[in-house]
């Protein structure tokens, strides 16, 4: 076109000629319309028309739809008709002629789609929840009456059944890809009305024999099963235990019961009045059945009897006025009874029953527990206790009844026994097997003289192949040894006994001192009385001052830096040394308990100042060094040290204030 316009501008053609040329080129290129734009939403009215009729229909549509197509004619396009069959709807293929000044392209035109809303509205009465997809397709195809058959790919169906308390619907929607149908159809169904529960349950029967034992929850489940089995509408609506309320009053002997089944107020499925089913009363129960196994006791009350009757199934609510109860109390050797009779007012029980109350049994411990301890000896017999029961409790036990008692006396041992834990004579009174008159048991014992124990102890010690020697009387726990030897367990401890050294003989030639020990029962002891004595051999620790002096001298020589007499204040070093671990053997050998400084005296003489230091040595009791006065000296570091047991003034004062045994070392230096 650019070339043509250039030629025109360089020539002297007339204006009319230029216009004609421009018009021709404009139609042939710029104004052609694509067939797809023209027929985008167009459908052939009837695919079964003749080719000429379809061409005319298309030409009329083009002229009416676009003012630029008023001159269109059959020469501008050609069509090809594809006829429908069962599986294909058919179509018209329109193609623009290449020489057309107006049209271009191609397009497929399908037959006009049928609107399913119109079709199904006309046939709505034939459609319900049970209508199948095949039946919907038959309705549509019958209405269309065409070669192509609408199928399941052309539509979709959704539906909900109308139920009691719930609306239903049926909806058909044409597929967007369908070339045969379009639109949608929807129909709703009103909810079914609630059911009257009384009508639903009019033929429902409960078994009276089972209903009493079944809980309300189980009855409700059985009702629901019955309804769902006999009412399709309620079953489809999911009838459940939430739609009803069940309450039950059990039938009892003589009293009717009932089951009430009521609709739940919130239920959308049922309404109406309650369904009440009567449960016939049970037969009255004989009292003998309720009381046949009852074993009353002496303290049984009327309330106990009624509670026992209420344990029977069906009699849980028995009232006191339904029975008369007469109780005859038992006594020792005589049975009692409880007679129970049903009253005329009772609707639950009938008849009468008598229960025996076993005769009373004497408690053996209660009869004899107050028997005086001081009267219990090894000669005490059962008759003594029988007499006591009669005198103190007015309980007369005849010879026949007395034979129900077992009297056992176990005498205390007279010698040491490994199997004996107590040196007591014990008495036991128990009922014989099958006794009708006695229960419990009574135990007592005869208080043992301590002299009996000390004799056994002394006899056992005397039988030893070598004599028992006490090394250190102060380290010796006699009560513990006494207990261990006699196997008294805890009875030999301070709760029962005291041990006292009552006599000490002088040491004998064999190097032993004989002690006499008194063992006495305490007043608080409940098993033992009196006292006894034994003798102990105690090894003597007799020594001499010469031995003591030698040991002290050896100690000072061994530790010269630890103690000296050069200065008065060094006396503390001597004390410390004698109390230290270095002197432990010396202290043990001479039975020294402790060493301490007890005085310092300074005296001026012509020779100068004299310093007197007194060191007290405290000894264990019973260890005596000499039988008469003695004075000696120990030479330590060139100095004379005096050892004396003289009763000088200072020593007397010290003994009076401390009251103990010992001696003084008098050390003088200057």
Express each pLDDT in 518-547 by its tens digit. Answer: 889 888 888 889 999 888 777 655 555 556
β-pair partners for 91: 82
What local confidence, expressed as pLDDT, does residue 626 receive?
A: 29
Q: Rounded to an integer, what distance in angstroms lies between the CA atom of residue 273 and that of residue 210? A: 25
Predicted pLDDT of residue 24: 40
Structure tokens that stand for 561 in this block: 């830096």
Mean pLDDT of the chain: 78
Rounded to whole angstroms, the Cα distance separating 560 from 570 reads 12
Distance, first Cα to last Cα, the chain: 161
Q: How far apart are CA 669 and CA 651, in angstroms?
A: 20
pLDDT band per the 50, 70, 90 thresholds, residue 383: very high
Single pTM value for the model:
0.38
Residue 464 has pLDDT above 90, yes or no: no
Please indicate whether residue 39 or residue 4 has the higher confidence score (pLDDT). Answer: 39
- Cα 453 to Cα 445: distance, rounded to the nearest angstrom: 16
Is the predicted pLDDT of residue 2 greater than 60, yes or no? no
Here the tokens at position 316 are: 């849980």
How does strand 244-249 pair with strand 257-263? antiparallel
Of the candidates 276, 280, 278, 266, the one whose C-alpha atom is nearest the C-alpha of residue 198 is 276
Stretch among 19-23, 248-252, 257-261 having the lowest mean pLDDT: 19-23
Neighbouring residues of 629: CB distance < 8 A, sequence distance ≥ 6: 645, 646
pLDDT, average across residues 219-243:
90
Overall average pLDDT of the 594-598 stretch: 71
Does 112 or 422 have the greater pLDDT score? 112
Rounded CA-CA distance 303/288 in Å is: 17
Q: Are 446 and 423 in contact (CB under 8 A)?
A: no
Q: Is the pLDDT of residue 349 over 70?
A: yes
Q: How confident is the model at residue 248 (pLDDT cuts 50, 70, 90)?
A: confident
Mean pLDDT confidence for 105-125: 91
pLDDT at 222 over 80: yes
- Does 645 score more than 50 pLDDT? no
pLDDT confidence tier of residue 632, bands split at 50, 70 and 90:
very low
Encoding tokens for residue 581? 């671990």
Residue 164 in tokens:
């009691």
| Banded pLDDT at 250 (limits 50, 70, 90) | confident
Q: How confident is the model at residue 358 (pLDDT cuts 50, 70, 90)?
A: confident
% of the chain with per-residue pLDDT over 90: 28
Compute the distance between CA of residue 75 and CA of residue 104 in angstroms, rounded to an integer: 12
DSSP string, 186-252: EEEEPPBPPEEHHHHTTT----HHHHTTS-HHHHHHHHHHHHHHH-HHHHHTT--GGGEEEEEE--B
Q: Which helix (H) or strand (E) holds 299?
A: none
Q: Give the least confident one: 142-156, 273-287, 469-483, 498-512.
A: 498-512
Tokens of 216: 């309300």
- 562 — pLDDT class (breaks 50, 70, 90): low
Contact 641, 633 (CB under 8 A): yes
Q: Please, which pLDDT band fits residue 648 given cuts at 50, 70 and 90?
A: very low
218 close to 149: Cβ distance less than 8 angstroms = no
Report which listed range, 78-82, 281-285, 486-490, is most confident. Answer: 78-82
Report the pLDDT value the prediction gives residue 41, as an integer from 0 to 100.
Answer: 87
For residue 249, pLDDT beyond 90: no
Indicate the pairing of strand 512-521 with strand 497-504.
antiparallel
The pLDDT value recorded for residue 467 is 57
pLDDT at 633: 44
Give residue 333's Cα distance to chain centre.
Answer: 51
Residue 202: pLDDT band with limits 50, 70, 90: confident
Tell me the pLDDT tens digit for each residue of 12-60.
Answer: 333 333 333 443 444 444 589 999 999 998 999 888 889 999 999 999 9
CA dist., res. 590 & res. 551, Å (int): 10
| H helix intervals, 297-438 | 302-310, 364-368, 382-393, 399-402
pLDDT tier at 548 (50, 70, 90 boundaries)?
low
CA distance 369 to 37: 128
What is the pLDDT averaged over residues 448-453? 90
- The pLDDT, as a whole number, for residue 473 is 61
Task: Give the mean pLDDT of 605-617.
Answer: 56
pLDDT above 80: residue 341: yes
Lowest-confidence segment of 6-15, 150-159, 187-196, 458-467 by average pLDDT: 6-15
Q: For the residues 475-492, what does the mean pLDDT come to?
A: 72
* Per-residue pLDDT band at 422 (split at 50, 70, 90): confident
């Amino acid at each position: 076109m650019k070339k043509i316009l250039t030629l025109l501008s360089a020539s002297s053609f007339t204006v009319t000629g230029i216009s004609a040329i421009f018009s021709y080129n404009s139609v042939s290129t710029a104004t052609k319309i694509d067939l797809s734009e023209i027929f985008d939403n167009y459908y052939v009215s009837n695919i079964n028309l003749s080719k000429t009729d379809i061409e005319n229909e298309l030409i009329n549509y083009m002229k009416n739809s676009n003012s630029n197509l008023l001159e269109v004619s059959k020469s501008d396009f050609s069509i090809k008709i594809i006829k429908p069959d069962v599986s294909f709807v058919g179509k018209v293929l329109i193609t623009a002629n290449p020489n057309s000044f107006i049209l271009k392209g191609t397009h497929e035109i399908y037959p006009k789609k049928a609107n399913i809303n119109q079709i199904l509205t006309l046939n709505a009465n034939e459609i319900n929840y049970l209508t199948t997809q095949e039946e919907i397709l038959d309705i549509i195809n019958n209405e269309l009456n065409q070669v192509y058959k609408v199928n399941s790919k052309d539509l979709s169906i959704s539906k909900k059944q109308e139920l009691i308390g719930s609306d239903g619907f049926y909806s058909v929607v044409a597929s967007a890809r369908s070339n045969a149908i379009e639109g949608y159809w929807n129909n709703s169904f009103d909810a079914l009305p609630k059911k009257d529960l009384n009508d639903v349950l009019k033929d429902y029967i409960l078994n009276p024999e089972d209903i009493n034992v079944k809980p309300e929850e189980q009855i409700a489940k059985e009702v629901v099963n019955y309804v769902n089995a006999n009412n399709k509408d309620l079953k489809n609506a999911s009838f459940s235990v939430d739609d009803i309320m069940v309450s039950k009053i059990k039938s009892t002997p003589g009293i009717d019961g009932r089951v009430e089944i009521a609709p739940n107020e919130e239920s959308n499925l049922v309404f109406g009045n309650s369904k009440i089913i009567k449960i016939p009363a049970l037969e009255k129960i004989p009292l003998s059945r309720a009381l046949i196994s009852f074993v009353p006791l002496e303290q049984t009350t009327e309330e106990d009897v009624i509670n026992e009757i209420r344990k029977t199934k069906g009699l849980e609510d028995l009232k006191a006025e339904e029975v008369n109860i007469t109780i005859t109390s038992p006594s020792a050797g005589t049975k009692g009874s409880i007679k129970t009779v049903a009253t005329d007012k009772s609707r639950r029980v009938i008849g009468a029953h008598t229960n025996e109350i076993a005769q009373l049994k004497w408690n053996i411990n209660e009869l004899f527990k107050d028997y005086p301890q001081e009267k219990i000896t090894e000669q005490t017999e059962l008759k003594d206790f029988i007499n006591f029961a009669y005198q103190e409790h007015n309980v007369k036990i005849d010879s026949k009844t007395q034979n129900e008692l077992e009297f056992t006396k176990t005498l205390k041992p007279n010698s040491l026994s490994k199997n004996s834990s107590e040196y007591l004579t014990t008495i036991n009174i128990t009922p014989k097997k099958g006794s009708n008159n006695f229960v419990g048991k009574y135990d007592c014992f005869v208080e043992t003289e301590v002299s009996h124990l000390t004799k056994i102890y002394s006899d056992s010690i005397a039988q030893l192949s070598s004599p028992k020697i006490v090394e250190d009387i102060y380290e010796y726990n006699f009560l513990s040894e006494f207990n261990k030897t006699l196997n008294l367990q805890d009875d030999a401890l301070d709760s029962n006994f005291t041990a006292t050294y009552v006599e000490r003989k002088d040491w004998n030639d064999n190097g032993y001192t004989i002690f006499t020990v008194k063992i006495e029962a305490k007043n608080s002891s409940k098993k033992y009385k009196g006292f006894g004595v034994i003798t102990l051999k105690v090894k003597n620790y007799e020594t001499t001052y010469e031995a003591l002096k030698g040991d002290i001298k050896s100690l000072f020589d061994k530790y010269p830096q630890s103690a000296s007499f050069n200065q008065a204040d060094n006396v503390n070093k001597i004390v410390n040394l004698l109390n230290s671990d270095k002197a432990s053997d010396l202290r043990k050998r001479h039975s020294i308990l402790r060493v301490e400084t007890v005085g310092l005296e300074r005296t001026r003489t012509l020779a100068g100042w004299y310093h007197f230091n007194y060191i007290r040595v405290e000894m264990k009791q019973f260890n005596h060094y000499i039988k008469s006065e003695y004075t000696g000296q120990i030479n330590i570091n060139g100095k004379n040290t005096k050892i004396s047991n003289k009763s000088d003034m200072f020593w007397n004062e010290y003994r009076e204030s401390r009251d103990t045994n010992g001696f003084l070392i008098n050390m003088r230096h200057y």
